[in-house]
Structure 1
Amino acid sequence: MWIAKRAPELKTVLIAGGLVLTLAMGVRHGFGFWLQPISQANGWTRETYSLAMALQNLMWGVFGPFAGVIADRIGTARVVLVGALFYAAALLWMALVTQPTLFVIGAGALGGAALACTAFGAISGIVGRVAPAEKRSWAFGISSAASSFGQFVLMPVEQQLISATGWQNAFYVLAGLLLVVMIPMSWYLREPVYQEQGGHQQSIGEAIREAFAYKPFLLLVAGYFVCGFQVVFIGVHLPAYLKDKGIMDPNVAVIALALIGLFNIFGSYYAGKFGGILPKRYLLSSIYITRSVVVALFLLAPLSTASVYVFAAAMGFLWLSTVPLTNGVVASIFGVKYMSMLSGFVFFSHQVGSFLGVWLGGYLFTKEGSYNTVWMITIALGVFAALVNLPINEKPIVRKPALA
């Protein structure tokens, strides 16, 4: 059995998990750079590649709870190891397959499974179990900051790889990098099988039924849908939007996405830090409403390189700052035994939003010739998420004796 005899140190988990998240999320956030070169090389409209990315995000959510169950039951290490293999396979598929339907299905299924095994859902469980309760929100913030660091570092790398070696070779290089880093790091994420002390041992089915019968959990799920819609639409379609609006220098989009990653390092860290001090529901509501304000101001202001960078910095601070807070609420309410699984269910809602955001971006652009409608939906959803997060009760759930 490839399971540790004792729990790893928090520092070890944060470093190893941080490196996995850095690569997993850094590569994923750069997929927008391939939208135009792949579409042009294969003679596709933007809708085909958008559909592939939309399906990938949806399957990430579908596979998330299953990856979480496995991580909770046999440990995070094996899940990350398998995820690394899936990730490399997904990149090779995207480099080699030219038939539209096969491209969409393969990139969606392989990429979704890879991200379910290497991103927040899988890593959050071990972080929550290893971190003391008083440091848990902070530790989630560190993990989210690591993924943001990956976006900041890898965005320019991915763009330069595409420019210097071609879009296909860029996939090959990244596939090799993922394997070289993620496989060794999975070894440091080995953990013992955790058991609740005393009383009735809650089963997986009981945990699922308990969560979905609890209104605060459903409100959290609804709010997280909006997060997915907003960030994935912007992440995938912003480069094309800027080009359509006359900003032809591709470096502007590269710098903008890198700025999102840079400022999200600080946003994620401080969200986790303040989440241990202030009510997380109020912080989440503030983030969502501020996103809507930032998007509205970006659309109303004259578009320029400077306005793009200001928008990117502001959105970056808000980008993944919802992650440590959302995971923190789940841990606060339900505990950490099924942390990865329950986070996976919440994240499924996030990915349904991601699917709609990235697909609607391509679909409505094809139909209307602009992204205006999707921007308006993005603003309205931010207001909705701000409202549904306000009444969430973060206190530990009071279980009936049968579930105690």
Structure 2
Amino acid sequence: MSTAADRRPLSMTQVLLCGALIVTLSMGIRHGFGLWLQPITMDRGWTRETFSFALAVQNIAWGAAGPFAGALADRFGAFRVLLVGALLYALGLVLMALATSGLAFTGATGLLIGIAQSGTTYAVVYGVIGRNVAPEKRSWAMGVAAAAGSFGQFMMVPVESWLIATWGWQSALFVLGCAALAIMPLALGLKEPGLAGGAARPQQSIGAALREAFGHGSFRWLTAGYFVCGFQVVFIGVHMPSYLRDQGMDPSVATTALALIGLFNVFGTYGAGVLGQRFPKRHILSAIYLLRSAVIVIFLAAPLTPMSVYLFAATMGVLWLSTVPPTNAIVAQVYGVQYMSMLGGVVFFSHQVGSFLGVWLGGWIYDRAGSYTPVWWIAVALGIFAALANQPVRETPLLRPAAA
């Protein structure tokens, strides 16, 4: 049986440092996957839809596995979930390099890496932050972790581009597989003694927590808005390199653009976390989605030059993952931290459904229309919808009957 001493909070510095490094690795690796689209499809003789479908499956697998990974992390601690996730991540990257058929590629890149990401990214790490950081600092702390993921994109995208150019796309994936294993020692810093064996008696059952959340209108609106976030960022992250190359741009422009998104998102996500301590988070989310739509419209209307691409990337970078801290902070604030990883995973599943459609529709429409333009305008319309969807969200903590 766990004792009060067993359940004392971990050091906030330790949680933020290890959590940030884990998110840096996990998110940094995945953010560069768009760089592999052309070398893999050209080498294997596949269509863009084949590659896009595998990444679409990755996103939906990540989302579908998220609530289960979160529930396990809430019950038994994040440490064990992170260990398994790191192993699956490394294995998936190796098999991604070795796959010679579309089906095998989808199994490795889609299912295996998607499941791995559910156990090595925000939902699991944010659960530890929620349980070990004081409520008055929680939004800020989540902003720090999200900013780390953005820094991972800034740092890893140029590295991945260099690996592909220097060693070839297959060897580059082998190197990333080794890098994913570094998550395992970092997971030690998130090991919560009171949760390691699942000994603590839950105050609320998993079923009751899910019924409570889905019966609450704010949870449903928050989930609907997060769908749009996934659609927009994954479509842009995966398909923008090919979109720019189709327009005659040098590949280095896309690499620089993806790195700029990551760099400026460091400031955007941190700023969103700080603002979430001072202003209603639903207003922050609505503003982010509305500004994304406006930025896309300006990008499409302006003459396409390297400078316009860089300005678009920097501005979109500020808005990129800045939805993550306020969304997860609302979940913790309204529904508590006991099942935060699981409920965050449920909300994130909607995000990944949007990701699936964004990346797959990008390839599907391109193969049939020869253009990405229709998908850009779908992203604009969805951004306006998400801005409206977040306004009914209420941030007041739910009151539960006292336990007998």
TM-score normalized with structure 2 length: 0.96
Output the amino acid matched with 2:366. F
Q: Is the 8 A contact 2:365 2:371 kept in 1?
A: yes
For the residue of structure 1 that corresponds to 2:193, the secondary structure is coil
Query: How do residues 285-304 of structure 1 correspond to structure 2 at under 5 angstroms?
Result: 285-304=286-305
- Contact 2:222/2:327 (<8 A) preserved: yes
SS in structure 2 of the partner of residue 320 of structure 1: coil
Aligned positions, number? 399
- Aligned equivalent of 1:76, options 72, 75, 78: 78
Residue 141 (structure 1) aligns with: 143
1:371 is matched with which residue? Answer: 372
Partner of 2:236: 234
Say whether 1:37 aligns with 2:39: yes
SS in 1 for 2:303: coil
Match of 1:60 in 2: 62
Map residues 4-403 of structure 1 onto 2, 5 A cutoff.
5=6, 6-179=8-181, 181-193=182-194, 201-247=203-249, 249-399=250-400, 401=401
Quote the offset at 1:402 in angstroms: 7.7
Which AA in structure 2 matches 1:265? V
2-side partners of 1:109 and 1:155: how far apart?
22
Between 224-233 and 185-194, the greater mean CA deviation after superposition: 185-194
In 2, are the aligned partners of 1:39 and 1:45 still within 8 Å (CA)? yes
Distance in structure 2 (CA, Å) of the matches to 1:215 and 1:397 = 12
Report the alpha carbon displacement of residue 102 of structure 1 after superposing the two structures with TM.
Answer: 1.8
Q: CA deviation at 1:178?
A: 1.6
The alpha carbon displacement at 1:352 in A equals 0.1
How many Å separate the matches in 2 of 1:403 and 1:48? 53
Q: Give unmatched runs, 5+ long, in structure 1.
A: none
Contact 2:2-2:194 within 8 A present in 1 as well: no
**TM-fit CA distance, 1:192:** 3.4
1:141-189 superposed Cα distances (whole Å, 9 cap, x missing partner): 000000000000001000000000000000011111121x211101111
TM superposition outliers: structure 1 runs of 4+ over 6 Å: 1-4
1:301 to partner: Cα distance: 0.2
Tell me which amino acid in the other structure corresponds to 2:36.
Answer: W
Q: Distance in 2 between matches of 1:57 and 1:402?
A: 39
Indicate the percent of aligned positions where both proteins have the same amino acid: 57
What one-letter code is carried by the residue in structure 2 that aligns with 1:21? V
Matches of 1:175 and 1:128, distance apart in 2: 29
Q: Give the letter aligned to residue 157 of structure 2.
A: M
- Structural RMSD (CA): 1.8
Counterparts in 2 of 1:2 and 1:378: CA distance versus 1, 3 Å = farther
Q: Secondary structure at the match of 2:262?
A: helix
Residues 110-129 of structure 1, C-alpha deviations (whole Å, 9 max, x = no match): 11111000011111100111
Contact 2:93 2:108 in 1 (8 A): no
CA contact under 8 A between 1:122 and 1:340: conserved in structure 2? yes
Q: Deviations over 1:281-311 (max 9, x none)?
A: 0000000000000000000000000000000
Q: 1:2: how far off?
A: 13
Residue 106 of structure 1, CA deviation: 2.5
CA distance in 1, matches of 2:403, 2:110: 38
Q: Is the 8 A contact 2:221 2:390 kept in 1?
A: yes
Asked if 2 retains the 8 angstrom alpha-carbon contact of 1:21 and 1:146, the reply is yes
Aligned partners of 1:206 and 1:403 also within 8 Å: no
Q: Give 3-state SS (helix, strand or coil) of 1:118's partner.
A: coil
